[in-house]
Copies of this chain bind each other. A is one copy, B any other.
């Protein structure tokens, strides 16, 4: 592979996000963390990921501030992996992925898990809106490019 291109320098925020969480496993681990999993063995069982890979991914997710290792809640000797605030703020990303998957990747009638408000049971969704709350589609949104500050 020679060297996987980094998008750190890109001025597109989506590209930087993908640079940080765009690999095969990271978002799945984050999903499981949202789901309440905290222990190495839980992630490993849930994802069927090789242990060495899980180990490395947890390490980099911690290095990137998305997870943090905390002592076991029950006083045990093991560590637990918890989402940081930065990690929890990936919630809209997860919901967006879920919403798209629900719409396109299930047969009609096929069952899937659903995300609901814990208190009211209402379905949870998300939409792109302008500041004043109007719905907006890709055709009406434009990306304002920014002059590269490196090149004055």
Contacts and interface: CB of A to CB of B under 8 A. Distances in A.
- Looking at A14, A93, A124, the one whose CB has the most chain B CB atoms below 10 A away is A14
Contacts of A140: 117-119
B122 A130 contact: yes
Nearest to A132: B122
Contacts of A96: 92-93, 95-96, 126
A35 interface: yes
A75 B148 CA distance: 35
Q: Chain A interface mostly helix, strand, loop or mixed?
A: mixed
B126 A103 contact: no
Interface of A: 4-5, 7, 11-20, 22-24, 27-28, 31, 34-35, 48-49, 65, 86, 88-106, 110-120, 122-132, 134, 136-138, 140-149
User: Taking the full assembly, how many copies of this chain does it contain?
Assistant: 2
B5 A48 contact: yes
A29 to B, nearest CB: 11
25 contacts: A11-B111, A11-B112, A12-B101, A12-B112, A13-B98, A13-B101, A15-B28, A17-B97, A17-B98, A17-B100, A17-B105, A23-B24, A24-B24, A91-B138, A92-B126, A93-B100, A95-B141, A111-B147, A115-B142, A116-B144, A117-B140, A118-B142, A122-B130, A126-B127, A126-B129
A110 B149 contact: yes
A144 to B, nearest CB: 5
